[in-house]
Amino acid sequence: MTSRPHPYVIADVFTDTPLQGNGLAVFTDGTAFDERMMARLARELNLSETVFVLPARQGGDAWIRIFTPGIELPFAGHPVLGSAFVLAGERETVRLETARGIVAVALRRDPHGAAVFGRMQQPIPTLEPFEPQAQLLHALGVTRSELPIEAYVNGPHNVYVMLADEAAVAALAPDHQALAALGPFNVSCFAGAGRQFKTRMFAPAIGINEDPASGSAAGPLALHLARHGLVAFGEEIEIAQGAEIGRPSKLHARVSGSRARIERIEVGGAAVIVARGEFSL
């Protein structure tokens, strides 16, 4: 690695207000870094995720690698959405290569041409059983889930626990050490009705005690709700997250198709660029 400046951009994702949403660092030229240095930089910045942009390999606009402070992820929602805003230029659609394939992000612009909203088509998750349910509920400090506890894998392993109401979600005080001992998965605790839902996501095993906005979990949440009849297929839900840690966020998600055949999962939201800097290494 040469000793030279390495620029990066900070974007707040799933919000249109600076210093809210989920912060993301994007190194716009990651070619100077090996995997070990990418992991060290992600730990240094200590955001939920840090992205390293590399030349496209499979026909996309760029290849991105995504790191939490603990591990590399094959796919994650807010890094894809935020990277699309950072790399958009004049494009209406940004196609980003991830380890789960190319993810397209369609951008909506204001009358001045600035990107104000993005909608990504996410990988369709696989459904898996989640075995340590009693241990999970104990670590969360709750007694039951209102829907079956199931895992959806679209890169990360996303596990869902439905609580009785939004107040119960807000009151959660999980045992992060006990959660981390159960393995590297994201647990989303949620409640709501109609099209409005509140969620909190915990993933201490991968270095994220609580995530302000979880794009990779939003799509499977819409699928989980549709599979169990709480929303209709094709109906868009709005997800509030992050208020308890001072980073309020808003996510939009919908799933098209049917229980027998999932056709499309989309997650959208706003993002704002709030800082630019460089590492001198």
Is the pLDDT assigned to residue 2 strictly greater than 60?
no
H helices within the chain, ranges in order? 35-45, 77-87, 133-140, 166-170, 176-182, 215-227
**Neighbour tally for 261: CB within 10 Å:** 8
pLDDT of residue 222: 98
Q: Give the residue extent of every domain in the chain.
A: 5-124+269-280, 126-263
**Chain centroid offset of residue 61 CA:** 20
**Active-site entry in 35, 44, 49, 210:** 49
pLDDT of residue 34: 97
- When pLDDT is cut at 50, 70 and 90, the band that residue 129 belongs to is confident
Q: Interhelix angle for 215-227 vs 77-87, to 10°?
A: 130
- When pLDDT is cut at 50, 70 and 90, the band that residue 263 belongs to is very high
What value, to the nearest 5°, has the Cα angle with vertex 142 and ends 184 and 229?
Answer: 80
Is 0.85 topped by the overall pTM? yes
β-bridge pairing 237-241 and 93-98: unpaired
Is the pLDDT assigned to residue 1 strictly greater than 60?
no
Q: Examine domains 5-124+269-280 and 126-263 and report if their fold is the same.
A: yes
Q: How far is CA 43 from CA 18, 48, 207, 239, in A?
A: 22, 10, 9, 28
**pLDDT tens track for 14-70:** 999 999 999 999 999 999 999 999 999 999 999 999 999 999 999 999 999 999 999
DSSP conformation class of 215:
H
How does 58-81 read in b/e, with b if 16+ C-beta sit within 10 Å?
eebbbbbbbbbbbebbbbbbbbbb
pLDDT of residue 281: 85
Locus of tokens 């026909």: 59
Bridge partner list, 73: 66
**pLDDT tens track for 73-116:** 999 999 999 999 999 999 999 999 999 999 999 999 999 999 99
**Cα separation of 3 and 209, whole Å?**
34
- When pLDDT is cut at 50, 70 and 90, the band that residue 4 belongs to is confident
| CB-based contact 22:48 (threshold 8 Å) | yes
Tokens for 56?
């496209």
**pLDDT tens track for 133-176:** 999 999 999 999 999 999 999 989 999 999 999 999 999 999 99
Characterise 119 by phi-psi region: left (phi > 0), alpha (psi -120 to 50), beta (else).
beta
Is the pLDDT assigned to residue 254 strictly greater than 60?
yes
Identify whether 49 is a catalytic site residue.
yes
CATH class as words, domain 5-124+269-280: alpha beta
CATH annotation of 126-263: 3.10.310.10
